[in-house]
């Protein structure tokens, strides 16, 4: 089954879809049109770029195959966190320390950009300050503390340490040894935020079209995008569809893999009981390679993510398997039912670093992909950077574009089985501590 259809099935029982008002849909494209910039993908990266490009006075068309926020932008864990999905040493090894510091600082700019857009566009999306990174063993606790020390001394970003004796004040769970807290990171309702950006883009004059899948890209001085209902010719094109480009840019596909991610949301809890779980109401991630992530919602539920599928096969009995993961972290919730359970695909790169650039031989066709499950904040920054590049200042975009990416091994037929085997090793490593 194509990923677009699989995702449609997986997201039917989404807490976000049940609690966000979409409003009137944007009509599909009809006929032929021209513009300065055509964007493929109605998620956070595409919408962010569209808003920034309109600030430059450019005519922007955005094409979305399904509806705005259909992909990961509208159903992710809702956590906006400092840094990238890969560690900073990956960036340092490729770019050197000076540019690695620039990348880190841009990741913090991405957090500030969320707050500024919420304020500027009056987006009601349940923003909550605070992020807890927690280690599940003494060895991982030492590694986390060493990482935090280096982020402080080398990158100038201090984090609050959570000592073993203090963990109980931060989270009512027996699973964790120690951790860090970052008040500048946080969490929100991603679909409400995405829809808010879409309204802002439309109000600024972006032409948004839903239900308009792009079937072909013809590069050239003025690239042409073909759809079943019309076509768009533009001076610049941005591909922001990630794993949903459906063969539109074959050269990009081997550099990312679709990974299924799954989330559940509990029934409503008594407010005092809910508040006792994470008193600061922060978002939480553990530091395992195959991690769990969770957070409270404003209506006193526990939203819990943790299952992944590297084979693209959806786990059976998703709600119950997610409930068991939640209870492993919070045994006191053993009597609590799961009300929503959903999932979908994210794009990961081999080294978990973001993959931004231009198509080979097409200086006016840009792409943004490889957010690797850490894109809620970074997508906004990526849209800003590509808009800067299209506007004539590519200095910041090109820092990311210098990152080298290798295709996943095994080719089209074997790369998924190879990834499944590789991730089995990481799961074993997590279990061994």
Q: What is the CATH number of the domain that holds 342?
A: 3.50.50.60
- Higher per-residue pLDDT: 425 or 194: 194
The predicted pLDDT at position 418 comes to: 47
Query: Is 428 part of any domain?
Result: no
The three state secondary structure string of 242-282 is HHHCCCCCCCCHHHEEEEEEEEEEECCCCHHHHHHHCCCCC
User: Is residue 12 over pLDDT 90?
Assistant: no
- 173-186 average pLDDT score: 98
Q: How confident is the model at residue 368 (pLDDT cuts 50, 70, 90)?
A: very high
Mean pLDDT for the chain overall: 92
For residue 10, the tally of other CB atoms under 10 A from its CB is 21
Domain residue limits at 412? 3-422
User: Is residue 393 over pLDDT 90?
Assistant: yes
What percentage of residues in the chain have a pLDDT greater than 90? 84
Model confidence over 254-282: pLDDT tens digits?
A: 999 888 899 999 999 999 999 999 999 99
The predicted pLDDT at position 63 comes to: 98
Cα separation, 301 vs 377, in Å, equals: 23
The predicted pLDDT at position 377 comes to: 98
| Choice among 4-8, 182-186, 215-219, 323-327 with the minimum mean pLDDT | 4-8
Distance from CA of residue 83 to its chain's centroid?
Answer: 12
The predicted pLDDT at position 4 comes to: 58
- 239-243 average pLDDT score: 94
Count structural domains, the chain.
1
Query: Is 125 part of any domain?
Result: yes
- 217-245 average pLDDT score: 96
The angle at the Cα of 402, spanning 412 to 404, to the nearest 5 degrees, equals 30
The predicted pLDDT at position 50 comes to: 98
Model confidence over 270-329: pLDDT tens digits?
A: 999 999 999 999 999 999 878 999 999 999 999 999 877 776 677 778 999 999 999 999
The predicted pLDDT at position 312 comes to: 66
The predicted pLDDT at position 328 comes to: 97
User: Is residue 420 over pLDDT 90?
Assistant: no
Query: Is 430 part of any domain?
Result: no
User: Is residue 423 over pLDDT 80?
Assistant: no
Q: Measured between alpha carbons, how far is residue 112 from residues 133, 168, 240, 296 in Å?
A: 20, 30, 22, 22
User: Is residue 413 over pLDDT 60?
Assistant: no
- 141-150 average pLDDT score: 98
User: Is residue 1 over pLDDT 80?
Assistant: no
Model's pTM, two decimal places? Answer: 0.93
Query: Is 433 part of any domain?
Result: no
Query: Is 308 part of any domain?
Result: yes
The predicted pLDDT at position 416 comes to: 53
The predicted pLDDT at position 246 comes to: 81
User: Is the separation of the CB atoms in 263 and 341 below 8 Å?
Assistant: yes
User: Is residue 47 over pLDDT 70?
Assistant: yes
């Amino acid at each position: 089954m194509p990923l677009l259809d699989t995702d449609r099935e997986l997201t039917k029982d989404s807490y976000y879809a049940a609690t966000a008002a979409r409003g009137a849909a944007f009509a599909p494209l009809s006929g032929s049109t021209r513009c300065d910039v055509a964007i493929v993908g109605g998620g956070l990266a595409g919408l962010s770029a569209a808003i920034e490009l309109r600030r430059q006075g450019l005519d922007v068309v955005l094409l979305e195959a399904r509806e705005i926020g259909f992909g990961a932008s509208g159903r992710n864990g809702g956590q906006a966190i400092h840094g990238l999905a890969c560690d900073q040493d990956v960036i340092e090894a490729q770019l050197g320390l000076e540019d690695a510091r620039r990348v880190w600082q841009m990741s913090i700019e991405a957090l500030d950009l969320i707050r500024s857009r919420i304020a500027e566009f009056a987006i009601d999306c349940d923003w909550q300050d605070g992020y807890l990174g927690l280690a599940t063993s003494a060895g991982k606790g030492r590694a986390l503390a060493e990482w935090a020390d280096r982020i402080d001394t080398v990158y100038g970003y201090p984090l609050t340490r959570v000592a073993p004796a203090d963990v109980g004040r931060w989270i009512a769970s027996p699973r964790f040894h120690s951790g860090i807290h970052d008040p500048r990171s946080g969490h929100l309702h991603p679909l409400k935020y995405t829809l808010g950006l879409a309204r802002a883009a439309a109000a600024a004059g972006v032409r948004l079209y839903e239900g308009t899948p792009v079937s072909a890209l013809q590069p050239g001085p003025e690239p042409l995008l073909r759809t079943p209902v019309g076509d768009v010719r533009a001076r610049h094109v941005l591909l922001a569809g990630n794993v949903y480009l459906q063969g539109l840019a074959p050269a990009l596909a081997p550099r990312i893999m679709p990974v299924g991610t799954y989330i559940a949301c509990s029934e409503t809890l008594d407010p005092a009981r809910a508040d006792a779980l994470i008193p600061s109401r922060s978002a939480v991630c553990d530091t395992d390679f195959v991690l769990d992530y969770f957070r409270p919602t404003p209506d006193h539920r526990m939203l819990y993510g943790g299952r992944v599928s590297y084979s693209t096969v959806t786990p059976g009995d998703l709600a119950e398997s997610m409930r068991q993961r939640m209870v492993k972290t919070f045994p006191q919730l053993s009597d609590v039912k799961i009300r929503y359970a959903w999932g979908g695909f994210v794009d990961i790169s081999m080294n978990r670093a973001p993959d931004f650039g231009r198509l080979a031989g097409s200086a006016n066709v840009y792409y943004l992909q490889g957010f690797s499950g850490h894109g809620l904040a970074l997508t906004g920054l990526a849209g800003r950077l590509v808009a800067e590049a299209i506007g004539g200042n590519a200095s910041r975009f090109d820092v990311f574009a210098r990152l080298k990416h290798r295709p996943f091994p095994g080719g089209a037929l074997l790369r998924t089985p190879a990834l499944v085997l590789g991730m089995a090793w990481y799961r074993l490593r997590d279990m061994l501590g």
